[in-house]
Structures are given as structure tokens and as C-alpha cells.
């Protein structure tokens, strides 16, 4: 059973490979007794009965054990909950009321001793992970200064190491693993979205875990607005990680608040196992179309930029279809007075000079070519030079009496206003209803900088965005959405519950992308990761990488083409058609298979990875920064089932699993920027 209760006040949540034990401790507070390897009920109960210790002066025995610590009483850890009542009281103390377990879902209900406030802590088994969130109900007015989703308490170890991803625009997803020092490490974002700088995910280990071995505790937050993760190493040596959305707000009597979901998992088999568990969870439990295969797309941005019109889009569509692309996406510049980034955002009707009879002829021709049609939008933004802004200047975020700040010549619409959210849904609904559109690239190119006096603006914006997307998906169930925010600025399990893929970075340089995609894959599956092949030299780095190398990097995700096809030589077009056809033969393995990172791009000039699904494996190898023409070491494939034989689907060559696990898969590479893709099939 997913949830058992071996005794009053003790509950065991079981995933296929782990156990999570929560119990009531002193003062009726819920404590984490165990988060790790599977245990039976008797062992779980014994773990729950282990004394916390007396606590030394200046310390609390609750710290590092408590599932949802408040900021008052005998506790000094970073609080998950902080309340303030109108009379100034901030102390809260909970009385346990009841517990209920419904299938995979445990609810623990508490009431405040002297105030009319109730707290429900939720735990739910969801595949390999445990989902947690909290619900507050106010019977009297209360100011909520902080209400996190969960405080995660891994067991005590001799040491700890923290893994996270950091970066900036065009350098997102840089994986960092470093010893966890004393005190608090804060990860987070105040940029309206999850941001390119950090992502709401972390992993902890004792400093000895590898890709294939060792205990790893990991958690993430399903929220696309302001957020924080406070990882605290306490004086007594324990660690607690408080995870939540970073907004304060006030509840009136009769109102309630539910936090976003935070999901956590444990594995004893290293970082690779943790990633595979996250990928399964996101594909099977979170993403709305996780079982589908994503099409090969072509995007027109890097070919035409703001110079697009019906004629050049038709010409690009002809070329993209000839290569085997399945989805044609027209990017920025199709609407209003949008001939540069100075004007037009907010006026979402086709530019009459560029599309004299609307989008219909282009959509029809794309369909005739055997492709679906997709379109770029940036619905949350407005240019001051637009009809929308001239009609509704009060719709943007602004602080009365203060100068406003523009970025990219644009302002952000206040989605927290119901009339703004209704307008956004209205024109998007009309656009999708009036055209055969299969795909929407939803972009956001700047954060909010002048939100005004409402402290809950970020939560209101994110909630309104979710509501619009949910309604659009319901009304247009065949349309698929991509989340983009100047690249990877809005990627998290919350947005992935409403979109079908994400754009990890505006940086399409294949060498840089090896590092970006490695960090992205710590949490997110290849099924969600759009990856383009673009022109050489790359617009950002100037690198001139071989087309084969660029394709092999992009084929490790959801393949897209973003170059100016009119400039590609006949040989390049022929090679592109061959690579696209090859990708279609292996994309089910890439998009739904289990990822095995064979060699890290951060530590090797010969990175390699594999995806395995049933009786097929796709192995990618690259030489990147390789010097002196030294022979490279073939990557080994130790994950293949023992005593099996595998055949190269392209050459017919056969090898045993023992050979591939010991010698490795030799692709004959030696020059810098050589690359290879090998498709293996198990021989019956």
C-alpha cells in the first residue's frame, strides 16, 4: 500500500523504491522520521520513536526534524510559516485534529490553540516522488508573511554537498556541486518568473555520490513566479530545506490559501537515477501530453527576424517541408506595427502590409506541404508604441508617482487585473479559433520591475497566467504550447503542467548547448527540451561548428531547425534531410527513454550520453575541445541487461552487452568536433 499507519500519529508513504515516514512529535508538530530506503512498518515505528535529543543551550531538538516549522516557539530553523495577527501576535502553536489517507494522499489537519486558523499538510505519493503542499484556512484576519510548500529534512550525515543550477541569459543551466557550509544558502528569483539565474530544484548528498552510486535527496517546486529555496546547515549538523513561493499576503476571515506543490525524492543509485526518476514523474504525472512524440519543427526567427512577410515565410516553409520538418513556426513580427522591437506588442492582428489577406493563405500552404502551423506570441507584454497601450495605459505594472522602467522597449501587463486577463484570453481564443494553429510559442522577454504596492502581485500574475493557459488548453485541446522567457527564464514543473515543451536557452551554439542541456537534464526530460540547429557562424558565439555536430547536439532533445535555409548549400540540405530522417527513427527513444549520462560535458572533452527504451538504445558522442588528436576512450554502457546482444541499426555490426560494458562503444572519432549517433537494437 502507498500509505500505512503502524500506530497512532505515524504514517509511512511508500514509492516503488523509497519510504517517507512522518509522525507527530512533542507539541503536536509533524516530524520527518525517515526519508530514504524502503522500510517495513515495524522499522518505521522504531525510527519514529528514536528520541530527538535534549537539545543544547541556544539550540532546539525540533530543528532539522520538523516538517513545517513556524517562526516562534522553541525552534530556530528557517521557518516555513510566519503569521501575524492584527493585534501583533505572531506566536502560533498547533493542536493535531485529524488525519485521513485516501489512496495515495495523506492529509494532516491542525488547529491553532488560541486563534481561528487551521492548517492542513498534504502528502501524496506520485510515482517515484512524494508531493507536499500546505493549506491555510483563516477564521479571522491574518497576515501571512511566509507560507512555504514544505520543509524537507534529509537524515543526518557526516557531510553534505548541494547541487543546483545557476546562470544568466544565454548561459542557463550551469550545474554546480559544492560542499554545503554552515548557515543558509538561498536560491530563488524575484524576476516574476523562475528566471535564468536559478531554477527551483536542488539535490543533496553526503559528498560521495556519483552519477551511478550513492544516496541523493532532491526536491523541486511547481511554481512559475517568485520563489525561494533556503537550504540551512544547522549548528547541530542537520540540514533542512524550506521550499516555497516568495510572496506575503493577507487572508480575511473565511478565506483560504493553498501553496504550490513541492515534490521530493530519494535514490540510493546516484544522480543519474535521480534524474531518471524526475523525468518519469514529469512525463507521466505532470506534462499534459507527455505520452506524445513531439514533431520536428522549423522556426523562422533566425532566418528573417523582424523582416518577415508572407512571401519569405512561404519560401522558408517550402524548404523546411523538403527537409522533412513537420511543424512550421512563424516567429516575431507578424502583427501590428511590429517591424522592430519598438512597437506593436499588444496589437495582435496580422500586419496588413505583410499579410494583406491575413494569415489564412500561409496557414493553408503550410498544411498543403504536410506540416502543421505554429505561431509566436508574447501575450503578457505591451509596447508603449501600440494601440493597446494608447487605449489602456493603466493596464501595465507601475508605481504611482514614480518613473517606470522599460526593458526591450516594452512594459508588462498586469495580469492580476481581471479585465487584462480576460482581454488576453479573448484575443488568444479568437486567434486559435480562427486559424488552423497547432502550436504556440509563448514568450516573455522581461521581468516586472515596478509592481506597485500590492505584495501579492507575483502570485496573482502567475495564477492568472495558469488560469488563461488552462482555459485555452481546455477550449483548444489539439493545440500544443511551448514556454519561453528569453530562453530558459520560465521553466519549472508548474509551467510544464500547462505546456508541452520549453525553450531552454536563446543560446543555440552546439558546444555551449552540451553544458546547458546537461544542467537542464538534471530535472527535466528530453521530451520537454526544444533544441535547434542554427547557422554557422553562430550569431552569439561566432563558432563555426560542423553541421553534423550541431545536429547531434539538437537530436538529443526535441529537434528543431532555426537556420536560414535559403543560405544552406545543396550538400547541407541533403545532410539535414538525412539527419531529420534518422531522428524520426530514434525520437521515441530520446523523448521517452531513460537518460544515462556516460561522460559529463563539464568534466570531459568527450561527453557522451545514451537514451534507453525497451530493446533500443540511442548513444550520442561528441568531441568538444579535444586537443592533439589524442585517441578518445569509448564510452562504456554498463546499464545494458546482462547476456544480451546488440546490433547497430545502421551498419548491422553486433556486440554483446559485456563487450559494451567493458570496452565501450567505439565510434572512431579523433578530430575536435567529431560526433556520432549510434542506434542499437537488442537481438532477439
In the chain, where the domains are located? 3-51+62-286, 297-588, 608-682
Question: Using H for helix, E for strand and C for coil, what is the string for 466-498?
Answer: HHHHHHHHHHCCCCEEEECECEECCCCHHHHCC
How many CB atoms are closer than 10 A to CB 642? 8
State whether residue 90 is helix, strand or coil: coil
Indicate the average pLDDT of the chain: 97
Beta bridge pairs of residue 129: 126
Is 417 marked within a binding site? no
Is 404 marked within a binding site? no
pLDDT at residue 247, as a whole number: 80
Return the beta strands (E) in 17-155 as ranges: 18-24, 30-36, 81-84, 94-102, 105-112, 117-126, 129-138, 142-147, 150-152
pLDDT at residue 26, as a whole number: 83
> Would you name the residues annotated as active-site residues?
443, 506
pLDDT at residue 246, as a whole number: 84
The domain made up of 608-682 is a member of CATH 3.40.50.720: no
Q: For 304-342, how does the pLDDT look when each residue is reduced to its tens digit (9 = 90+)?
A: 999 999 999 999 999 999 999 999 999 999 999 999 999
DSSP letter at 26?
Answer: G
**What gap in Å lies between CA 86 and CA 88, rounded to an integer?**
5
Q: What's the helix, strand, coil split of the chain in %, to 5?
A: 25, 30, 45
Is 584 marked within a binding site? no
Instruction: With residue 11 as reference, give the H or E element that holds it.
Output: strand 10-15
Query: Which residue in 538, 679, 516, 671 sits closest to 605, CA to CA?
Result: 671
Cell 493535531: give the residue.
96
**What gap in Å lies between CA 643 and CA 660, rounded to an integer?**
11
The string of DSSP letters for 524-583 reads S-GGGBEEEE--SS-TTT-----HHHHHHHHTTSEEEE-S-GGGS-HHHHHHHHHHHHHH
pLDDT at residue 53, as a whole number: 79
Cell 545514451: give the residue.
610
Decide if 175 contacts 203 (C-beta within 8 A): no
Decide if 486 contacts 507 (C-beta within 8 A): no
What is the C-alpha end-to-end distance of the chain, expressed in Å?
A: 36
Is 443 marked within a binding site? yes
Question: Mean pLDDT for each 10-residue chunk of the chain (684 residues)?
Answer: 94 98 93 98 97 84 94 90 96 96 96 97 98 98 97 97 98 98 96 96 98 98 98 94 93 98 98 98 97 97 97 98 98 97 98 97 98 98 98 95 92 97 98 98 96 90 98 98 97 98 98 98 98 97 97 98 97 98 98 98 97 98 92 96 98 98 96 97 98
pTM score over 0.85: yes
Is 199 marked within a binding site? no
**What gap in Å lies between CA 152 and CA 149, rounded to an integer?**
10
Angstrom distances, CA of residue 544 to CA of 547, 549, 580, 674, 682: 9, 10, 21, 13, 37
Query: Which residue in 485, 398, 410 sits closest to 441, CA to CA?
Result: 485
The domain made up of 3-51+62-286 is a member of CATH 2.70.98.60: yes
Is 445 marked within a binding site? yes
* Angle at the Cα of 357 from the Cα atoms of 356 and 358, rounded to 5 degrees: 95
Is 442 marked within a binding site? yes
Is 444 marked within a binding site? yes
Is 42 marked within a binding site? no
Pairing between strand 480-483 and 558-561?
unpaired
Q: Which CATH number fits domain 297-588: 3.40.50.2300, 3.20.20.70, 2.60.40.1220, 3.40.630.10?
A: 3.20.20.70
Amino acid at each position: 500500500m502507498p500509505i500505512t499507519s503502524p500506530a497512532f500519529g505515524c504514517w509511512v508513504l511508500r514509492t516503488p523504491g523509497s519510504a517517507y515516514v512522518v509522525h507527530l512529535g512533542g507539541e503536536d508538530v509533524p516530524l520527518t522520521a525517515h526519508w530514504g530506503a524502503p522500510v517495513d512498518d515495524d522499522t518505521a515505528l522504531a525510527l519514529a520513536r528514536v528520541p530527538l535529543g535534549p537539545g543544547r543551550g541556544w539550540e532546539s531538538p525540533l530543528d532539522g526534524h520538523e516538517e513545517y516549522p513556524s517562526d516562534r516557539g522553541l525552534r530556530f530553523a528557517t521557518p516555513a510559516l510566519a503569521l501575524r495577527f492584527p493585534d501583533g501576535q505572531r506566536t502560533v502553536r498547533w493542536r493535531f485534529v485529524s488525519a485521513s489517507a485516501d489512496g495515495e494522499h495523506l492529509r494532516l489537519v491542525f488547529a491553532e490553540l488560541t486563534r481561528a486558523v487551521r492548517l492542513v499538510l498534504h502528502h501524496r505519493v506520485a510515482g517515484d516522488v512524494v508531493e507536499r503542499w500546505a493549506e491555510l484556512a483563516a477564521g479571522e484576519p491574518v497576515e501571512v508573511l511566509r507560507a512555504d510548500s514544505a520543509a524537507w529534512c534529509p537524515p543526518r550525515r557526516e557531510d553534505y554537498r548541494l547541487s543546483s543550477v545557476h546562470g544568466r541569459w544565454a548561459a542557463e543551466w550551469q550545474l554546480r556541486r559544492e560542499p554545503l557550509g554552515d548557515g543558509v544558502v538561498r536560491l530563488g528569483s524575484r524576476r516574476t518568473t523562475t528566471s535564468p539565474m536559478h531554477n527551483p530544484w536542488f539535490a543533496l548528498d553526503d559528498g560521495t555520490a556519483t552519477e551511478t552510486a550513492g544516496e541523493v535527496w532532491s526536491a523541486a517546486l511547481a511554481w512559475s513566479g517568485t520563489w525561494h529555496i533556503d537550504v540551512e546547515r544547522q549548528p547541530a549538523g542537520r540540514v533542512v530545506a524550506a521550499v516555497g513561493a516568495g510572496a506575503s499576503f493577507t487572508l480575511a476571515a473565511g478565506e483560504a490559501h493553498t501553496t504550490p506543490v513541492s515534490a521530493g525524492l530519494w535514490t540510493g543509485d546516484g544522480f543519474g537515477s535521480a534524474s531518471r526518476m524526475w523525468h518519469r514523474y514529469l512525463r507521466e504525472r505532470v506534462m499534459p501530453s507527455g505520452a506524445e512524440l513531439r514533431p520536428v519543427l522549423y522556426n523562422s526567427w533566425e532566418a528573417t527576424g523582424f523582416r518577415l512577410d508572407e512571401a519569405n515565410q512561404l519560401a522558408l516553409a517550402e524548404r523546411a517541408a523538403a527537409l522533412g520538418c513537420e511543424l512550421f513556426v512563424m516567429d516575431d513580427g507578424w502583427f501590428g506595427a511590429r517591424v522592430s522591437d519598438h512597437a506593436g506588442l499588444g496589437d495582435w492582428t496580422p500586419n496588413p502590409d505583410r499579410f494583406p489577406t491575413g494569415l489564412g493563405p500561409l496557414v493553408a500552404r503550410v498544411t498543403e506541404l504536410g506540416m502543421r502551423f505554429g505561431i509566436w506570441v508574447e501575450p503578457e507584454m505591451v509596447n508603449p508604441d501600440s494601440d493597446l497601450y494608447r487605449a489602456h495605459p493603466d493596464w501595465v505594472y507601475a508605481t504611482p508617482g514614480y518613473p517606470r522602467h522599460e526593458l526591450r522597449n516594452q512594459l508588462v501587463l498586469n495580469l492580476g487585473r481581471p479585465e487584462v486577463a480576460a482581454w488576453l484570453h479573448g484575443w488568444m481564443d479568437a486567434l486559435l479559433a480562427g486559424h488552423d494553429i497547432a502550436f504556440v510559442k509563448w514568450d516573455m522577454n522581461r521581468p516586472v520591475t515596478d509592481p506597485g504596492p500590492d505584495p501579492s502581485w507575483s502570485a496573482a500574475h502567475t495564477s492568472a497566467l495558469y488560469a488563461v493557459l488552462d482555459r485555452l488548453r481546455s477550449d483548444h485541446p489539439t493545440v500544443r504550447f511551448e514556454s519561453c522567457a528569453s530562453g530558459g527564464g520560465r521553466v519549472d514543473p508548474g509551467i510544464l503542467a500547462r505546456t508541452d515543451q520549453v525553450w531552454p536557452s536563446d543560446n543555440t551554439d552546439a558546444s555551449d548547448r552540451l553544458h546547458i542541456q546537461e544542467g537542464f537534464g538534471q530535472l527535466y526530460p528530453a521530451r520537454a527540451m526544444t533544441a535547434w540547429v542554427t547557422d554557422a557562424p553562430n550569431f552569439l558565439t561566432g563558432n563555426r561548428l560542423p553541421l553534423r555536430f550541431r545536429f547531434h547536439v539538437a537530436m538529443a532533445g526535441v529537434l528543431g531547425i532555426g537556420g536560414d535555409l535559403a543560405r544552406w548549400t545543396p550538400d547541407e540540405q541533403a545532410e539535414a534531410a538525412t539527419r531529420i530522417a534518422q531522428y524520426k527513427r530514434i525520437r521515441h527513444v530520446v523523448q521517452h527513454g531513460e537518460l544515462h549520462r556516460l561522460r559529463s560535458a563539464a568534466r570531459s572533452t568527450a561527453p557522451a550520453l545514451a537514451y534507453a527504451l525497451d530493446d533500443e538504445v540511442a548513444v550520442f558522442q561528441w568531441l568538444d575541445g579535444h586537443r592533439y588528436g589524442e585517441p578518445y576512450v569509448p564510452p562504456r554502457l554498463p546499464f545494458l541487461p546482462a547476456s544480451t546482444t546488440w546490433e547497430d541499426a545502421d551498419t548491422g555490426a553486433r556486440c554483446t552487452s559485456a563487450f559494451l560494458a567493458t570496452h565501450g562503444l567505439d565510434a572512431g572519432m579523433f578530430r575536435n568536433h567529431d560526433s556520432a549517433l549510434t542506434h542499437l537494437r537488442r537481438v532477439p
